[in-house]
Amino acid sequence: MSKLTPESWLVSAGRPEQPGDPMNEPLVPASNFTLGGDRIYTRDTGAPGWESLETIVGGLEGGEAIAYSSGMAAAAAVFDQLSAGARIILPDDCYHGVSELARSGEAKGLWQLGRLAVDDTEGWVKACADGDLLWLESPSNPLLSVADLKTICAAPRKPDSIMVVDNTFATPLNQQPLQLGADIAMHSATKFIGGHSDLLAGVLVTNQPALVPGLRKSRVIKGATPGALEVFLAVRGLRTLALRLAKAQESAARLACWLESQDWVERVRYPGLESHSTHEIAAGQLGGFGGMISFDVVGGARAADALCHNVQLIRHATSLGSVESTMERRGAVPGQEHLPESLIRLSVGIESCADLLTDLEQAVAQSKVV
């Protein structure tokens, strides 16, 4: 058969193939196996189901995938590859868990840490010359800035340096960082990959064979192995990723335009809007603008908190990328105090867009933010 489209790959890859096999890889809750075969102990050699998840995501990204117990476990595995005194460059708008991981290592003298604006393309290109770990996040969390990955990933780099792109917000359907020149694509599979708010998992994908042993070793020695149930759920969630993402970003585009027209909204950040600072880069680099929106509410933190508490269909909850829409004031999260105090991050789900608009309208009326 000719090469499949991503939509067909999501549905067909990673399934048992022998006559008489079940259609799906069964859930196997086992920690150890009878000796004499390929499997010995789950932490070391994996459990049935891992291969399905890694095959699907690896095929989408164009590399070898390694699954972990969480997105942060995956991030920590990358940091484990650094030598003492390494120079790390992070974006100024970055997932707070990764920022804290980098800051804690710097405080212990393990490495040096620098920060750059996501859209500072010239700065990133220069950093490629002396950075040991270049960690990009695009679109960024939660300000949704899009890095010029085509330019940055093509820049000459220090030998043995590692360039990582956190691809969680874009998903492999909208962006494939390895094809642009990155060494590792990272996903918090908790988000769009799982898609149902019912698991924690992370995935790294690399097309650099020299990196694979170290990344796998980190999973083993740190005990960062994904659970059998979590992998089973992640694979099931992946089967509908194309449908979920298409619906979410269709609604997100409509909601972003509507929010931009409201007098109770100070600013809307969505890469699909022409007013967005990195819209042109996003339009030329992304296959779609995604299901994430952030916006600032008139009236500061109090107004934003009121709006979040008064939504009914939209869930007032953290995390993102699920079938249900969620929103929260990100500045209320410890470690995120640098963000605008009235900024709300909205993850758009698969509900009727008309119902989401109605819910926001009633929440505004109850909150008296205008």
DSSP string, 297-339: ETTHHHHHHHHHHH-SSSEE-S---SSS-EEEEGGGSTT-TTS
Of all residues in the chain, what percent carry a pLDDT higher than 90?
Answer: 91
Q: How much is the pLDDT for 46?
A: 83
Q: Does residue 370 register a pLDDT over 80?
A: no
Q: How much is the pLDDT for 335?
A: 82
Q: How much is the pLDDT for 79?
A: 98
Domains parsed from the chain with CATH numbers: 6-238 (3.40.640.10), 242-365 (3.90.1150.10)
What number is the average pLDDT over the span 317-321? 96
Give the whole-angstrom CA distance, residue 142 versus residue 318: 12
Q: How much is the pLDDT for 299?
A: 95
What number is the average pLDDT over the span 37-54? 88
What number is the average pLDDT over the span 77-82? 98
Convert the pLDDT of each residue in 264-312 to its tens digit.
999 999 999 999 999 999 999 999 999 999 999 999 999 999 999 999 9
Tokens of 209: 């064979």
Q: Does residue 89 register a pLDDT over 70?
A: yes
Question: What pTM was computed for the model?
Answer: 0.96
Q: Does residue 338 register a pLDDT over 90?
A: no
| Cα atoms in the 13 Å half-sphere on the side-chain side of 322 | 17
Euclidean distance between the first and the last CA atom of the chain, given in angstroms as a whole number: 58
Q: Does residue 1 register a pLDDT over 60?
A: no
Q: How much is the pLDDT for 241?
A: 98
DSSP-based three-state secondary structure for 186: strand
Convert the pLDDT of each residue in 320-330 to its tens digit.
999 999 999 99
Long-range interactions of 150-156: CB distance < 8 A, separation 24+: 150/180, 150/284, 150/285, 151/121, 151/125, 152/121, 152/124, 152/125, 152/128, 153/177, 153/180, 153/181, 153/182, 154/180, 154/181, 155/124, 155/125, 155/128, 156/128, 156/129
Q: What is the 3-state secondary structure (H, E, C) of 240-308?
A: CHHHHHHHHHHHHHHHHHHHHCCCCEEEEECCCCCCCCCHHHHHHHCCCCCCEEEEEECCHHHHHHHHH
What number is the average pLDDT over the span 163-187? 98
Convert the pLDDT of each residue in 208-249 to its tens digit.
999 999 999 999 999 999 999 999 999 999 999 999 999 999
Convert the pLDDT of each residue in 129-148 to its tens digit.
999 999 999 999 999 999 99
Convert the pLDDT of each residue in 348-368 to its tens digit.
999 999 999 999 999 999 987
Q: Does residue 6 register a pLDDT over 70?
A: yes
Indicate the helix (H) or strand (E) that contains 165.
strand 162-166
